[in-house]
Amino acid sequence: MKRWLPLAAFLALAALLLAGVLMNSGKDTTAIASPLIGKPVPAFSLPVLGQPDKRIGNAELLGRPYLLNVWGSWCVNCREEHPLLSELARTGRIRLVGYNYKDAPEEAQRWLQAFGNPYETVIADEEGRVALDFGIYGAPETYLVDAQGLIRWKHVGPITPELLQGELEAEMRKAGVPGAAR
């Protein structure tokens, strides 16, 4: 009987793992729910990229909805979503605030010069300390913030045309963004 105990333990563990896999099949396991949804943007004060003496905080961003887009010059996927963000900025429907994450200011400015700057303003978190309060995992990440400063939506990964036209449009409409598709 003692000989079969390790085999029985292994089979029980394998059955548990299989059950977990089967229970999650078909689910989007890339979605990471944020505990900040419906809560105010964390208090922060960060320098403006290229203007280290000028600081912007959450209070200065109140009054109009905005997308807070986390990016870095080192981020390959940020380059992928950049044309879509640039197009969205050209429509003027919603403010884009850039959150430059763990980047050298010179590199970030060079990147924006090369690819264009769709952001109304860019705040710089060179050391990534404020990112902890947001629960930022990396870049790109995008937050939809309403006029009262409440986080309404978060997406980890690049914004795609399908995401913009579907989920993000619906969330912008709920957040009171003028001109959001019905």
Query: pLDDT tens across 86-116, in order?
Result: 999 999 999 999 999 999 999 999 999 999 9
pLDDT confidence bin for 29, thresholds 50/70/90: very low
Per-residue confidence (pLDDT) for residue 14, from 0 to 100: 72
Tell me the two tokens of residue 5: 């105990």
pLDDT of residue 30: 47
User: Model confidence at 117, in pLDDT bands (50, 70, 90)?
Assistant: very high
Contact call for residues 93 and 177 (beta carbons, < 8 A): yes
Sign of CA dihedral 72, 77, 83, 85: negative
Q: Is the pLDDT of residue 128 over 80?
A: yes
Which pLDDT value is given to residue 27?
Answer: 52
Tens digit of pLDDT for each residue in 133-178? 998 988 999 999 999 999 999 999 999 999 999 999 999 998 888 7
What distance in Å separates the CA atoms of residue 68 and residue 151, rounded to the nearest whole number?
10
What single-letter amino acid sits at 147? A
The residue that leads in pLDDT, 4 or 119, is 119
Residue whose tokens read 């690049």: 158
Task: Output the pLDDT for position 182.
Answer: 46
CB 68 within 8 A of CB 143: yes
pLDDT at 33 over 60: yes
- 52-81: pLDDT as tens digits: 999 999 999 999 999 999 999 999 999 999
